[in-house]
Amino acid sequence: MTPVWSPVFMTEFLVISIINGITIAAFARIRHLRKRSTYLIINLTVADLLVGAVAGPLFVFCKDEKSDGFTLTRLIFWTIKLTFPIASQINLSLISLERLHATLFPFRHCLITKRLYFKIIVGSWLVSFFLAIVLPILPQGALPYAWASFGAVTLIVLAVCYIIIIVNVQRRPHSQHHGSIHTERKLSVTLLMVTGASVLTILPLAVYKSIPVDLPKKLSNTSGVDIDAVLFVIYLASSIVNPLAIRMQGFRKAIRNLVCKSTEPTRVNPLQLHTMP
């Protein structure tokens, strides 16, 4: 990584950490935002925060020690680097599957318990940790293709789920008058925006990693641009757009109140206390 890109990555990591940190604080302080339909969103926010605070800096600023064989140090190093990006992509897939279930089976979806959501979240982290352990064991030449395959599977799941959701919503417009169903579908549209923005950031790197190894080096040498750095910046932007694209009722108001309280701690308007629901 050239020194020119260091300030760019440092700025991006700081923005990721701040935005996702504020988002988590909003969910933590506003109780009515913590409901079953937002558990996976909160989990995604946690994964994105750890991408910016831990995984990203390790990828950019900490060099992996070259070794001819398997070593415990290399395994631990790569496991820490890969766990959080994998968890972020898995959570995007889980959110799309959850929205698909809510759209196709709205009444059955309402019966899902909190315990099941917690089991899914724990399972997602266990799968992420397992994949993060397996990928470094692969031959070094196979790691980019494995990562590209994982990204491709994520994109296919997202695309299929939301295509079905869109078709289903267009075919049954009259059911939108029911309050709970309308709320679930509105949330599905919101999360479609989140997923669409994430796809645009994940896709370029997934395609690039699937190209034969010699070709990217030739492209970088010919163009004079560090393509790896550019695509990695775009990939990390997924952890920024995820919280920015959340448009749930009351969420952005909670964010504004949280930011205003932190910037103006001494300013209090007593009239607002009487108008609060």
- Answer yes or no: pTM beyond 0.75: yes
Report the C-alpha gap between 65 and 1 in whole angstroms: 15
- Domain 3-272 adopts which CATH fold? Rhopdopsin 7-helix transmembrane proteins (1.20.1070)
Q: What is the pLDDT of residues 152-163, one digit of tens each?
A: 888 888 888 888
CB 150 within 8 A of CB 86: yes
Q: How many CB atoms lie within 10 A of CB 80?
A: 15
Q: What is the pLDDT of residues 22-33, one digit of tens each?
A: 888 888 887 777
- Give me the residues of the chain with pLDDT under 50, please: 67, 175-177, 265-277
Q: What is the pLDDT of residues 208-266, one digit of tens each?
A: 777 765 665 665 556 556 777 888 888 888 888 766 656 555 666 666 666 676 555 44
CA–CA distances in Å: residue 221 to residues 26, 186, 215, 227: 45, 47, 10, 10
Q: What is the pLDDT of residue 133?
A: 92
CB 29 within 8 A of CB 258: yes
